[in-house]
């Protein structure tokens, strides 16, 4: 099927994910945040690398394993230097990697994810903000953020959730999800804004 326009978006977290875990200092389950600091420990010919998380209440720390009993030569030199210098970019990469948290068996606090939605072409005209029949919107959620689909689509289309629900029910908008590729596809099959002023 051919579309009038194919418009791509990306969802990007604004900060590292926070985690929920029992804190020995607080004596209950609390939120831990990424300190953007690594701990590197040499043990004979092997090294361990951790990313340090910290309780937002009492400052107790929890180390999440990056490498365990690893030979230093198996790590790229630039990456190794990043751990030693507490590289913010490297800490953010680990702090937004769902597989990293799964490997460490920790629970991500998905309820407080801060994110931005960027359009692929940043050079936008005012008229580009209005969508038309025949447009296909592709929203890439490569970080696998657990955000409600209707929230994302409503935000992009500048619609309330109730308006979106009505337009979906009438077939003017068709929303599908590709879970394996972490994508949301939005097909515009009619006039979105006929009954209101933008």
pLDDT digits (tens, 9 = 90+) for 142-195: 999 999 999 999 999 999 999 999 999 999 999 999 988 899 999 999 887 665
Instruction: Return the minimum-mean-pLDDT range out of 21-35, 36-50, 118-132.
Output: 118-132
pLDDT digits (tens, 9 = 90+) for 86-107: 999 999 999 999 999 999 999 9
One DSSP character per residue, 67-80 reads: EEEE-GGGS-HHHH
Which pLDDT value is given to residue 5? 87
- Cβ atoms 172, 190 nearer than 8 A: yes
Both structure tokens of 179: 């879970």
């Amino acid at each position: 099927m051919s579309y009038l326009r194919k418009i791509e978006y990306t969802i990007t977290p604004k900060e590292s994910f926070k985690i929920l875990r029992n804190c020995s200092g607080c004596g209950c389950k609390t939120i831990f945040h990424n300190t953007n600091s690594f701990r590197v420990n040499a043990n004979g010919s092997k090294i361990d690398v951790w990313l340090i998380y910290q309780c937002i209440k009492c400052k107790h720390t929890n180390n999440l394993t990056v490498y365990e009993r690893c030979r230093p030569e198996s790590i790229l030199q630039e990456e190794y230097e990043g751990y030693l210098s507490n590289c913010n970019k490297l800490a953010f990469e680990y702090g937004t990697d769902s597989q990293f948290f799964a490997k460490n068996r920790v629970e991500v606090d998905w309820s407080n994810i801060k994110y931005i939605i960027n359009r692929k072409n940043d050079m936008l005209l005012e008229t580009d903000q209005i969508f038309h029949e025949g447009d296909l919107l592709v929203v890439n959620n490569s970080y696998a953020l657990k955000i409600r689909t209707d929230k994302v689509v409503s935000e992009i289309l500048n619609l309330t959730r109730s308006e979106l629900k009505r337009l979906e029910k009438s077939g003017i908008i068709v929303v599908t999800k590709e879970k394996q590729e972490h994508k949301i596809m939005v097909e515009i099959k009619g006039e979105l804004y006929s009954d209101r002023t933008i």
